[in-house]
A and B are shown apart, each in its own frame.
Chain A
């Protein structure tokens, strides 16, 4: 069975510090992974997907098949990055989501 694990429920950093939100997965096939974000009082929305290999709002994520990880990184956190972040793994037409990490960026 496929599974997504986000080991940190809460991550608190100061503005300007680097941030890394961890995501580990288990999947027998070729994985397709995503990061979704939910800002306060907003809808859940797609942040980035591994196939795009792009940086969104300064965030990047690299798929590491050897370590079965898809960590989300940003070199300099901003206060507006404070949100709930979910890692998700595709299975057929459906997604399996991790438990989520709340990122708090302090001024």
Chain B
């Protein structure tokens, strides 16, 4: 059974703070993703990683960076948190596609971040 865990369920930070969100998966998945989930906007991809130290920008990378030093761990970093980054953050992982079809993404429970 795939398990994706996120370091915190709830987090409250102040404007300007550096924030780290951690995600760990235990199924040896190559792909890992960070999304933010906002009402009416759905899920928007922030960053995607397909291998250790490899990353690609998603739709809304501004104000965020990521780190993937180990295959099982993918960190999202807010260099200087701002109030408009208050959101639910979801991590996901999937196997690399071995054929023409992409594999299912498995999601973590989410981290609700509030920036004051």
- Inter-chain contacts of A32 with B (CB < 8 A): 101-102
- Inter-chain contacts of A6 with B (CB < 8 A): 42
Determine if B42 and A100 form an interchain contact, defined as CB atoms under 8 angstroms apart. yes
Determine if B42 and A99 form an interchain contact, defined as CB atoms under 8 angstroms apart. yes
Can you sample 5 A-B contacts with CB below 8 Å?
A: A6-B42, A43-B108, A44-B92, A93-B48, A99-B41
- Inter-chain contacts of B110 with A (CB < 8 A): 43
Check: A71 CB closer than 8 A to any chain B CB: no
Check: A25 CB closer than 8 A to any chain B CB: no
Docked CA distance A95–B41 (Å): 14
Q: For this complex, into which size category does the number of interface residues on chain B fall?
A: 20 to 34
Interface residues of A in 86-107 (CB under 8 A from B): 86, 90, 93-100
Check: A55 CB closer than 8 A to any chain B CB: no
For chain A, the count of residues having a C-beta within 8 Å of the partner chain is 20
Check: B116 CB closer than 8 A to any chain A CB: no
Docked CA distance A94–B107 (Å): 14
Determine if B48 and A86 form an interchain contact, defined as CB atoms under 8 angstroms apart. no
Determine if A93 and B40 form an interchain contact, defined as CB atoms under 8 angstroms apart. no
Determine if B107 and A44 form an interchain contact, defined as CB atoms under 8 angstroms apart. yes
A94-B48, A97-B42 given; A45·B107 CB < 8 A: yes
Determine if A97 and B44 form an interchain contact, defined as CB atoms under 8 angstroms apart. yes
Determine if B40 and A99 form an interchain contact, defined as CB atoms under 8 angstroms apart. yes
Residue among A43, A49, A86 making CB contact with B42, cutoff 8 Å: A86
- Inter-chain contacts of B92 with A (CB < 8 A): 44
Docked CA distance A97–B102 (Å): 15
**Inter-chain pairs besides A44-B43, A45-B107, 16 sampled, C-beta below 8 Å:** A4-B42, A6-B42, A9-B40, A32-B101, A43-B110, A44-B90, A46-B104, A49-B104, A86-B42, A90-B102, A93-B31, A93-B48, A94-B33, A94-B58, A96-B45, A96-B59
